[in-house]
Amino acid sequence: MSVSRFAIALLAGLLATAVSAQTPAPQPVPAPQPAPAAPAAPMPAAPVPQGKAWILMDHISGQVLAGENFDEALNPASITKVMTSYVVAAEMANGKIKPTDMVRISENAWRSGGAGTDGSYSALAINSQVPLDDVLHGLVIQSGNDAAIALAEHVAGSEAAFVDLMNGYAAKLGMTRSHFANAHGLTAEGHLMSARDIAILGRAMISQFPDHYALYKIKEFTYGGIQQWNRNGLLWKDASVDGLKTGHTDAAGYCLAASAKRGDQRLISVVLGIQTKSKSEGFKAREEGNLALLNWGFRFFETHSVYEAGKQVADQKLWRGEAETVALGVAQPLLVTLPRGRYADLKPSMDVPKQLVAPITKGQQIGTVRLSLDGKVVAERPLVALADVAEGGFFTRMNDDFWLWWESE
């Protein structure tokens, strides 16, 4: 063999070896580690409550477990006040108001939301100065319309300006089927919420402002010598229930949003638009409907943490970098709620670029990880880089550029 032919053969051998060494091996599919689970049981259909719309949502994952018409925008009545109290909690967290602030009970709040109206009220005296914390208790526990208007005026100067805040916060939360016209929930044109949006709001309240949410489980509040009772009858019927809010007008019917926690699992249920002949029938229907949904959800579903935030899910081949690979993970915990006993049936998959080139910044989205059950995606999260990876040196870049060119041919 001549020198030139020998050189060609040697180069070919080196190429083959290098291609084998440089071509990234298929990434292992991240697999959840199954925890011991109860034997799978046949799952009956969810109980269907009375009403125009209803939903059952897992609090941790945000998954909808069951529901009907839950994206239909309906009159929410006093469930509106959950949005009002959310705005108050957010403004307190931002340092704009304080629980010790003195709230003036204006004539407008007294006349539009007080005893002379057809709604619930907190018996706040006209032109009195009341600590914000007391007004807030009246809003959440007694569902006072006067409290809602007084808080709105204190926070934003007027109820109309406060309504703008409500709609702004709702948009940030992704409540796409909601629009507010007042702070109390009495029937008004264009004042609407969907059952899904109410569940989204409840989930945000519980997660972001747990101290504020704790007001919703208080059964009784006395102000000015008047004892006021929480209108959520489920607080007396089930110890795991710790919120949220009732509502009723002739237009809205009887409504109830409820949340319960059993062990590490929390569920949120919403039932809207129950029409009955009597008040007692309405109270009973909304309470029994929500409780049946919660019991069904706790019995037949379980929540698992599949991937922890900041922990490596995969190791991806990297070109032109000072390191040959980059660790990928999720920025937020990936939790999934499934029928009991089905966790081992989850099928994970990844979408990542075929060729990933440095530099890489920590937190940069690289791809997506998905979890499927019976062919349906039940959860997905962005895959992000868990560390910075700078460009490699001159020879590393030159070598990798050659092999990137070689692979592209």
Exposed, middle or buried by CB within 10 Å (0-12, 13-18, 19+), for 17? exposed
The H or E element spanning position 163 is helix 159-172
Distance CA 256, CA 272 (A): 7
Which residue, among 238, 233, 245, has the nearest Cα to 280 in the 3D structure?
A: 233
Distance CA 30, CA 140 (A): 45
3-state DSSP assignment of residue 348: strand
pTM of the predicted protein model: 0.81
Catalytic residues: 78, 81, 143
| Cβ neighbours of residue 4 closer than 8 Å, sequence gap 6 or more | none
Buried b / exposed e over 320-359, threshold 16 CB at 10 Å, is bbeeeebbbbbeeebbbbbbbebbeebebebebeeebebe
* Backbone φ, ψ for residue 13 (5° rounding): -65, -40
Confirm if 334 and 371 have CB atoms less than 8 A apart. yes
Confirm if 81 and 245 have CB atoms less than 8 A apart. yes
The helix/strand count (H/E) of the chain reads as 11, 16
3-state DSSP assignment of residue 390: coil
Note the pLDDT of residue 305. 86
Confirm if 122 and 133 have CB atoms less than 8 A apart. no
Please give the domain boundaries of the chain with CATH numbers for all domains: 53-301 (3.40.710.10), 308-408 (2.60.410.10)
Residue where the block lists tokens 């949502």:
57
* Backbone φ, ψ for residue 96 (5° rounding): -85, -25
Which residue, among 138, 309, 150, has the nearest Cα to 226 in the 3D structure?
A: 138
Note the pLDDT of residue 15. 38
pLDDT digits (tens, 9 = 90+) for 232-255: 999 999 999 999 999 999 999 999
Residue 32 pLDDT level (bands cut at 50, 70, 90): low
Question: Which amino acid does the sequence have at 12?
Answer: A
More confident residue, 289 or 310: 289
Note the pLDDT of residue 228. 83
Peptide bond into 139 cis (omega under 30): no
Exposed, middle or buried by CB within 10 Å (0-12, 13-18, 19+), for 133? middle
pLDDT digits (tens, 9 = 90+) for 262-292: 988 999 999 999 999 999 999 999 999 999 9
Strand ranges (DSSP E) for 30-161?
53-58, 64-68, 102-104, 129-131
| Whether pLDDT at 324 is above 60 | yes
Q: What is the CA radius of gyration of the chain?
A: 28
Distance CA 30, CA 307 (A): 9
pLDDT digits (tens, 9 = 90+) for 114-171: 555 555 666 678 888 999 999 999 999 988 888 999 999 999 999 999 999 999 999 9
Note the pLDDT of residue 118. 59
The H or E element spanning position 110 is helix 107-113
For 176-196, give the secondary structure using H, E and C: CCCECCCCCCCCCCCCEECHH
For residue 47, what are the CA distances in angstroms to 128, 169, 265?
A: 47, 32, 20
Largest Cα separation within the chain, whole Å, is 109
Distance CA 194, CA 163 (A): 17
Confirm if 37 and 341 have CB atoms less than 8 A apart. yes
Exposed, middle or buried by CB within 10 Å (0-12, 13-18, 19+), for 364? middle
pLDDT digits (tens, 9 = 90+) for 186-224: 999 999 999 999 999 999 999 999 999 999 999 998 877
